[in-house]
Amino acid sequence: MANFKILIIDDRFKDYSEEKKVLKEIVPEIKTIKNTETERIIREVEDADAVIVNLFPISNKIIEKMKKCRVISRYGVGYDNIDVSSATEAGIWVANVPDYSVEDVSDHALALLMSCVRKIPFKDRSIREGKWNLHDFQPVHRIKNRTMGIVGYGRIAKAFHRKISGLGFARVLVYDPYVSMEEVNKMGGEKVDFNTLLKNSDYISIHVPLNDKTRKMFSWNEFTVIRDRSTIINTSRGNIIDEEALIDALKTGKLECAGLDVFGEEPLPENHPFKEIDNVVLTDHTAYYSEESIKELKEKAAKNVLSVLKYGRPIYPVNEV
């Protein structure tokens, strides 16, 4: 058995039996560190052969300390907490798990959409307060013959498109500069530019990663262009939306509703304006979650490490070294 040191930086999971099972053929023990122990992390990464990380920022400062590391495997689809360019320069693979929660996130986006359309959370709160006949306060409109806009068209977006296909939308508009028109047409969608999608969509679901191009992709200008009384769903990353601009659009009635699973600051601060707005549906960055998806995530994050240490390349590479 090889004498590798594998380090898990995390404090999210109750145990790491899935990772240990995957990696037992190359290492007898895995070291885990809570992501609050920054100074210890800096010391421990120095001789680690591999790192598995959740949300802890793997900055250039951390990567400079990695003398032996061959792979940084991220628990999740996004990897914006890892300095990928520094890792590449250091000859370290960065890997993620891009396909572990496709069904779960697309389910959640659909649930947020339907909650917004049918005003379920508002009705639930109001009925508990003794109110009834609520349609005068938040009118409900039929989905059939309306237009759905999908921003980003990766695995999750395609699964979401599949799931909404029976709802009777007149059009499904897709904005993704990296996907061909043929691919979109095959699913029954129409590939359009961003402004066309904004102007014509009654509902918009966001499925893009957070990067320099998508940060505050939806801001003051976009909420000026966006169709009046539209609804926006975000299960991607909070900072894709300028929250101040979104709050203004919700309060002024420019938007009918928003369904949000992700936020610029998490957990949501105690006095955040979203908590006082009736036409927004909030969940706790949990779209990825099911018991099945967590098991899959943990196994695949560990398999990235196993693949690098045995064969020299991860299953799901983010970079090339």
* Full DSSP string of 191-255: E--HHHHHHH-SEEEE----STTTTT-BSHHHHHHSPTTEEEEE-S-GGGB-HHHHHHHHHTTSE
- Which of 25, 89, 266, 292 does the annotation list as catalytic? 266
Q: Determine whether 12 is an active site residue.
A: no
Q: Determine whether 207 is an active site residue.
A: no
* Torsion angle, alpha carbons of 293, 299, 304, 308, to 10: 180
- Which of 222, 237, 243, 256 does the annotation list as catalytic? 237
Residue 247: partners with Cβ closer than 8 Å, 6 or more residues away: 273, 274, 277
Kindly state the DSSP code that residue 274 receives in the 8-state scheme.
Answer: G
- Which of 118, 285, 296, 299 does the annotation list as catalytic? 285
Q: Determine whether 74 is an active site residue.
A: no
What is the enclosing helix (H) or strand (E) of 282? strand 280-282
Q: CA-CA distance, 94 to 313, in Å (whole number)? A: 10
Catalytic residues: 237, 266, 285
